[in-house]
A = this chain, B = another copy of it.
Amino acid sequence: MNIGHASEKSGLPAKTIRYYEDIGLLKPDRSDNGYRDYSMSDVHKLRFLQRSRGLGFSVEECRQLLALYEDKERASSDVKSIARTKLKEIERKITELRELQHTLQHLVAHCHGDQRPDCPILESISGTADA
């Protein structure tokens, strides 16, 4: 599969896909003509990268997450501990997104023109009533 097709399937621009290859996140086969040739597995990884980058994980964290998957045959205890650390982070992110969600919902539902600058959303928007 050429890069254009892989780009469509993964949601990542071709430029970004080539960049990910440059920094060693994946290395697709090459066809005889020199074109990159992406397998389904490559596309899965790209889609995974597209998602996890969009969720605020750094490229290095994504590299770890990919390694988790790729090294699962050995599944050593450190691999599991990384996974558990990431799971904690994911839970935190979900919690924070829920709070952001509630804040915006409140904004849409209750703050319609008659709110003063001291709206309680100001207090809740940061997730800390005190700070």
Contacts and interface: CB of A to CB of B under 8 A. Distances in A.
A72 to B, nearest CB: 4
Interface stretch (A14-22, A26-34, A108-116): A108-116
Contacts of A44: 122-123, 125-126, 128, 131
A55 B96 contact: yes
Interface residues of A, number: 55
Number of copies: 2
A117 B121 CA distance: 49
Contacts of A53: 56
Contact of A122 (B52, B69, B98): B69
Contact of A131 (B40, B65, B84, B94): B40
A104 B83 contact: yes
Contacts of A68: 104, 107
Given A75-B115, A83-B108, 18 more contacts: A41-B122, A43-B126, A44-B125, A47-B127, A51-B96, A51-B126, A53-B56, A54-B96, A55-B56, A72-B107, A72-B115, A83-B104, A87-B104, A87-B105, A90-B100, A90-B101, A91-B101, A94-B101
